[in-house]
A and B are shown apart, each in its own frame.
Chain A
């Protein structure tokens, strides 16, 4: 019994120590300062990279495991029957068809996606994710499959006038946690001293933020322009401004760092789908402008 206890304790200790040393900074802070550690860890724990690279591994497995955060219509959501639907979902299926593999879609919180692709739990992320410089330090991105615009959203009876992004200064404003929009608010409103830090609110999901706008708890919501159209229509909100100025990079597929063969192949396929009009078709099918 004592031997057993010792084993248990050692296991506990080992896990705690490893957890403390390696994973916390990488997982919790996708910020600068961890770049040196991340690629080394990637190389150590990406078994696929050992022989022939990620693409070979995916082809050998016959399927690509793709992470998304299925609460962002019209890009990704789940219909009544439990199927993944939306622009991103149709696109990844078209890509997989060209790759000649099956798609397995894994629903995760948006915040967990980067960590999951770094740790090799998923092969790629398609979640209307913008290829920002900060994220690019953690993972690699394919070419852009769709440009991005942001929208400032306010309550239906709001009298605010937003003609340029900086007009949002001093207003209480919300965004989805971990998104480019949240980063923009932090950098250009809070750090610039235009808006007090306690005027900024982060939400796990955009529809929660929309509820708070409708209830008058916050004045503005900064989010991706396209999903905001449906959201505004259904919840009676008003779109004040659609702009490219707050957006950074277009929407891309995130893949593990250093998976050069996979990136080359995905880039080629995405370009092909853009050129032959498949992307346009998918976009119309999902009601995107």
Chain B
């Protein structure tokens, strides 16, 4: 019973980090999506130079631990613009996630049968038009399951932005643990919140997948 009471008190404190975690995740996913779609497209349809650059981005960023990317980008960005830790951390996380999303979208673009492009060009579409109206919509649907997986990963990677001082759920759990010296209560509360967030994310993505399923 005492455990439950402690847990509720702790949850009350940690929950203030909920919006930070959600905010970081949403910004990072959006930034990563922009990078992912563009870079994924370039990896498949870009000219040789752009293809190389997109590959370089994807390979390099995936080779470096996300926490290092956040640390570097925060302090590099800080030299030019004065971003808040929240914004800088989210952007850096998005930049890192973009590399993984690049591969998700590359796979999706390559899974659209090549006949689609040939047919679109045959009826007089430019390559750009064909990608925009024929390939991208089909690729987006194919990318959804992989993207949903990445979304849950980014949700958990959002814990890493504390390295630049953003007090998200896990840091708040640490603060409680340092004060009460009861790490299990603190981390159990954090676990519950992440569980709820992940379940919600999965539900939304499942709904999206159903919504855009091919009707046979």
Which residues of B156-174 have CB atoms within 8 Å of chain A's CB atoms? Answer: 162-165, 167, 171, 174
Residues of A within 8 A of B178 (CB): 70-73, 77, 205, 207
B128 touches A207 (CB 8 A): no
Residues of B within 8 A of A77 (CB): 175, 178-179
A5 touches B35 (CB 8 A): no
A174 at the interface (CB under 8 A from B): no
Residues of A within 8 A of B41 (CB): 1, 5
B154 at the interface (CB under 8 A from A): no
Which of B56, B60, B181 is the most central at the interface, judged by chain A CB atoms within 10 Å of its CB? B181
B178-197 vs A, CB cutoff 8 Å, 1 = contact: the mask equals 11010100000000000000
Which residues of A68-89 have CB atoms within 8 Å of chain B's CB atoms? Answer: 70-73, 77-80, 82
Whether A2 touches B164, Cβ cut-off 8 Å, given contacts A70-B175, A77-B178, is no
B210 at the interface (CB under 8 A from A): no
A211 touches B183 (CB 8 A): yes
> Which secondary structure characterizes the binding site on chain A?
helix
Minimum CB distance partner of A112 in chain B: B163
Taken together as a complex, chains A and B put the C-alpha atoms of A72 and B171 apart, in Å, by 13
A55-72 vs B, CB cutoff 8 Å, 1 = contact: the mask equals 000000000000100111
Residues of B within 8 A of A164 (CB): none
Contact of B174 among A71, A119, A210 (CB under 8 A): A71
Taken together as a complex, chains A and B put the C-alpha atoms of A82 and B17 apart, in Å, by 11
A107–chain B nearest beta-carbon distance, Å:
6
Taken together as a complex, chains A and B put the C-alpha atoms of A116 and B89 apart, in Å, by 13
Whether A107 touches B165, Cβ cut-off 8 Å, given contacts A5-B50, A27-B75, A71-B175, is yes
Minimum CB distance partner of B39 in chain A: A8
Contact of B78 among A13, A112, A121 (CB under 8 A): A121
A289–chain B nearest beta-carbon distance, Å:
20
B179 touches A9 (CB 8 A): no
- Other A-B pairs beyond A6-B53, A121-B75, 5, CB < 8 Å: A4-B38, A72-B178, A77-B178, A82-B13, A119-B75
User: Which of A's residues lie within 8 Å of B, judged by CB?
Assistant: 1-2, 4-6, 8-9, 12-13, 15-16, 18-19, 22-24, 27, 44-45, 67, 70-73, 77-80, 82, 106-109, 111-112, 115-116, 119-121, 205, 207-208, 210-211, 231, 234-235
Q: Which 5 A-B pairs have the closest CB atoms?
A: A71-B178, A9-B53, A108-B165, A19-B72, A78-B175
